[in-house]
């Protein structure tokens, strides 16, 4: 993946290359306690709200914020996650996609993609979950392309990419395997 920032791991300082939290809210850094993961990082249905809460998942979760449903780069990324879902599940890692799209649009997109994991709506209050992860672009009213691997309520690895960049999920799968409970 040429030109993409590396994943920031728990043993890297917050100033490491690849750590680019959008202003004004800082993204949680590796090692930070994020409390309860957003609803849907465990079993759930596509197109549900990302209001959050619930018990912490017993396994790890890859939380993938993306700008817009039905957009080309987001479609490629979620297509890759759909294809790799069984590999992440074997690694004990749940998946959840989160955008600020309405839940009904996400339900339609999940059906189109055949996504076996929840696509969660952070529509209202608009961007609240994305803001809590430092993954909301206030100027454009959308989630940014941010990824967080969470285990035991703590950030294990994180990455924030520019809007047009495409994520490679192979390194995320390796990180998920490394933290398998």
* Cis-peptide into 125, omega within 30 deg: yes
Q: Please tell me the distance from the alpha carbon of residue 133 to that of residue 126, in angstroms, as a whole number.
A: 14
Cis before 141? omega within 30: no
- Confirm if 34 and 66 have CB atoms less than 8 A apart: no
93 as an active site residue: the answer is no
Point out the catalytic residue in the list 46, 62, 69, 74: 74
Structure tokens at 136: 């909301």
Torsion of CA 80, 101, 30, 39, to 10 degrees: -100
Q: Give me the long-range contacts of 105-111 (CB less than 8 A, separation at least 24).
A: 105/47, 105/69, 105/70, 106/46, 106/47, 106/69, 107/46, 107/47, 108/47, 109/69, 109/70, 110/46, 110/47, 111/46
171, 87 Cβ separation under 8 angstroms: no
How are beta strands 93-99 and 60-65 bridged, if at all?
Answer: parallel
Q: Give the active site residues.
A: 74
């Amino acid at each position: 993946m040429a030109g993409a920032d590396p994943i920031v791991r728990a043993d890297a300082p917050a100033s490491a290359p690849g750590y680019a939290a959008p202003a004004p809210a800082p993204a949680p850094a590796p090692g930070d306690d994020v409390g309860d993961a957003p609803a849907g990082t465990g079993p759930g249905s596509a197109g549900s709200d990302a209001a959050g809460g619930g018990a912490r998942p017993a396994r790890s979760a890859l939380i993938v914020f993306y700008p817009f449903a039905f957009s080309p780069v987001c479609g490629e990324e979620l297509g890759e996650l759909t294809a790799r879902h069984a590999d992440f599940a074997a690694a004990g890692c749940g998946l959840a996609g989160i955008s600020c799209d309405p839940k009904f649009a996400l339900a339609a997109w999940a059906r189109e993609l055949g996504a076996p994991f929840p696509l969660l709506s952070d529509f209202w209050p608009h961007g609240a979950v994305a803001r809590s992860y430092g993954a909301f672009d206030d100027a454009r009213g959308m989630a940014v392309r941010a990824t967080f691997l969470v285990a035991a309520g703590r950030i294990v690895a994180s990455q924030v990419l520019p809007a047009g960049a495409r994520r490679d999920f192979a390194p995320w799968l390796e990180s998920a395997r490394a933290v398998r409970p």
